[in-house]
Amino acid sequence: MTEPVLELVEVVKSYGEVTVLHGVDLRVGPGELVAVVGPSGSGKSTLLHIMGTLERPSGGTVRIDGTDVARLGDRQVADVRARDIGFVFQQFFLAAHATAVENVADGMLYAGVPARARRRRAAEALDRVGLSHRARFKPSQLSGGERQRVAIARALVGRPAIVLADEPTGNLDSATGGAIVELLHELNADGATIIVITHDNDLAGKLPRQVHLLDGRIVRDSNAAALR
Ligand SMILES: Nc1ncnc2c1ncn2[C@@H]1O[C@H](COP(=O)(O)OP(=O)(O)OP(=O)(O)O)[C@@H](O)[C@H]1O
Ligand SMILES: [Mg+2]
């Protein structure tokens, strides 16, 4: 593998007495599209939060684009997150008062992009997810699948090194979910590195690489070379 965009080495996460991740090793290269699968409670969301620097591990190392996150202060970690990571969540998390294009532009708020460029790039990103005709709609005027496409556009608009999606199809019917998976494939073909958390084995099977999590451990990785 070329230099990984994301590298976890022996990552442990404990909450008090409870250990949720027991030494996770994972390397994700540029341009990969990876599914992290596992049953409820296996630690998928915890892993995503650690990969996305939303939480710090209790032990082990997290490297984003070669940078050991533990060596950075909170402010610098927030900068890395704003620049290098895009998030998509099951509940969309769009601002209710803002239009679709404004929600997407918010994805660049902390990345130091001037306002005019933010608007132009937000419009382009909405076009990319097929929603130009809904740019001025507010989330309440959009369907669930459309909301998730707005959220995906927002995650991608800052051109992050990594997009992390936690159950992105969890609130959608299967046809709409399928369209979202197709969109993730297209964005990946355009070069985005994407990690999708899901408990849906069918969805995972459609992605090129599957990492299986069980009780806080990776028990199988279809890219064995990356599991050292
Ligand atoms: N802040 C916390 N304090 C204590 N325990 C926690 C905390 N966050 C998560 N856990 C525990 O960690 C385990 C893994 O939780 P996590 O949310 O990562 O699971 P998951 O694989 O995403 O599950 P699901 O598919 O249901 O979303 C659970 O048993 C949960 O109770
Ligand atoms: Mg979860």
Number of Cβ within a 10 Å radius of residue 120 = 13
Which pLDDT value is given to residue 227? Answer: 45
Atom of ligand 1 nearest to the CA of 20: 12
Which CATH number do you get for residue 145?
Answer: 3.40.50.300
Which pLDDT value is given to residue 10? Answer: 98
Question: Interhelix angle for 115-128 vs 144-156, to 10°?
Answer: 130
Which pLDDT value is given to residue 158? Answer: 85
Specify if 51 maps to a domain: yes
Residue 208: pLDDT over 80:
yes
Specify if 118 maps to a domain: yes
Specify if 226 maps to a domain: no
Task: Kindly state if the Cβ of 17 falls inside 6 Å of ligand 1.
Answer: no
Q: Which tokens belong to 42?
A: 């296996």
Specify if 62 maps to a domain: yes
Q: CA 188 to CA 120: how far, in whole Å? A: 22
Residue 185's domain spans which residues?
6-221
Specify if 228 maps to a domain: no
Q: Using one digit for the tens of pLDDT, what is the confidence trace for 31-83? A: 999 999 999 999 999 999 999 999 999 999 999 999 999 999 999 999 999 88
Q: How many domains does the chain have?
A: 1
Atom of ligand 1 nearest to the CA of 213: 21
Specify if 227 maps to a domain: no
Which pLDDT value is given to residue 225? Answer: 59
| Model confidence, pTM | 0.92
Q: Mutation test of ligand 1: which of 44, 54, 197 has the most ligand atoms closer than 8 Å to its C-beta?
A: 44
Residue 140 has φ and ψ, to the nearest 5°, of: -65, -15
Specify if 60 maps to a domain: yes
Q: Using one digit for the tens of pLDDT, what is the confidence trace for 76-89? A: 999 999 889 999 99
Specify if 1 maps to a domain: no
Which pLDDT value is given to residue 223? Answer: 86
Atom of ligand 1 nearest to the CA of 38: 21
